[in-house]
Structure 1
Amino acid sequence: MSKEIVYTQHVEFGDCDPARIVWFPNFFRWIDAASRHFFVACGVPPWAETEQSLGVIGTPLVDTHARFIKTATYGDTLQIHTRIGEWRRKSFVQCYRVLRGEELLMECEEVRIFAGRREDGSIHALPAPESIRRLCG
């Protein structure tokens, strides 16, 4: 079972549209931050270090599915619960639940890869490093 890490996000006035509702792309920005926070909280070194030690330059997104349930507005404090739902050979599914207290506002699943860089500079998927899998539970 994967660890579950909580990332806290405070909603500011500028995160909202004229109706005072969080503009939906901001949820994806916060989820992206929660993704990296998950790895940091699990003890994974910065990507600059994993590039040197494992050849991993990051975890780019290759697919996403979201379900918006309730709205959020400025002044809200959100908790983004993040875990790994599934490990695959060269990718993984990262799962998120965005809550305001006990209220579920959004659910999202992302498929990400562990990316490496070829000699020509292009990016390709790498097998999921066992050391990172162990750290993340």
Structure 2
Amino acid sequence: MREVVYTVRVEFGDCDPARIVWFPNFFRWIDAASRHFFVECGVPPWHETEKTLGIIGTPLVDTHASFRKTASYGDVLRIHTSIAEWRGKSFVQRYRVTRGDDVIMECDEVRIFAARREGDPTGIRAVPAPEEIRKLCG
């Protein structure tokens, strides 16, 4: 299982009045870590994969998070990202957010590989993960 680490420095504006990270920011950061994972694995940007493979991205369809400890401004968080499971037209992306040895948050997301729906330029459909992307991501 390949793991890629994405680093975030928590800023003052990321926190609520209690000086702890406002929880939606974690979801913003893990979404960025998701794309970073694919980039680090060698997957081209989605605008390129749309031309070559028909893939426009990996939208989120389900998420489950567990918050273990708080984080505050000045903290450096490391988001460890991997693919825990490949499914037919979806996959489970796993995140473990750490500060040093402390686990701050853990999250599993179910995402799909999306392609445009024929005849509907705004619609999308789930498609099987292209084999070349699966190989790159281990």
Q: CA RMSD in A?
A: 0.5
Match of 1:23, SS state, is coil
Q: Structure 1 runs of 4+ off > 3 angstroms? A: none
Aligned counterparts of 2:99 and 2:114: Cα–Cα separation in 1: 33
Aligned counterparts of 2:87 and 2:52: Cα–Cα separation in 1: 21
Aligned to 2:41: 42
Aligned to 1:130: 131
> What are structure 2's unaligned runs of at least 5 residues?
none
Output one character per residue of 1:110-137: Cα deviation in whole Å (capped at 9) or x when no partner.
0000000023121000111100000001
Give the aligned residue type for 2:6.
Y
Structure whose residues are more often strand by fraction:
2
Output one character per residue of 1:78-109: Cα deviation in whole Å (capped at 9) or x when no partner.
00000000000100000000000110000000
Aligned counterparts of 2:66 and 2:81: Cα–Cα separation in 1: 15
> What are structure 1's unaligned runs of at least 5 residues?
none
Aligned to 1:25: 24
Aligned counterparts of 1:45 and 1:128: Cα–Cα separation in 2: 14
Give the aligned residue type for 1:21.
I
TM-score by length of 1: 0.98
Give the aligned residue type for 2:8.
Q
Aligned to 1:114: 113
Aligned length: 136
Aligned counterparts of 1:89 and 1:44: Cα–Cα separation in 2: 19
